[in-house]
Amino acid sequence: MAYPRDISIADAIKQAGLPTSHRVHWSKSRKADVVKAVREDIISFSEARERYLLSRSEFEQWEREVGKPKASARRLEDA
């Protein structure tokens, strides 16, 4: 669990302004928000993968689109 134990994943997602499900138009800014949330340990890659139906390669593509350093291998190993 990447978010504090005293809040739920739904609350962590809401506080970060992330989409609540995969059923959204994935604009560049929404993709960047999810990548940032994983990088900053707001949610884990595993949680992002489940909630947004992401494959590892799709998330890595989003990272390339954002253009900043990749998430650590440790974060991606939990999926």
- CB-based contact 35:66 (threshold 8 Å): yes
Q: Residue 78 pLDDT more than 60?
A: no
Provide the pLDDT for residue 45. 92
User: Percentage of the chain surpassing pLDDT 90?
Assistant: 43
Length of the chain: 79
Which tens digits make up the pLDDT trace of 5-41?
677 878 888 888 888 888 889 999 999 999 999 998 8
Which 8-state DSSP code applies to residue 2? -
Provide the pLDDT for residue 71. 56
Give the pLDDT mean for 53-63: 94
Provide the pLDDT for residue 56. 94
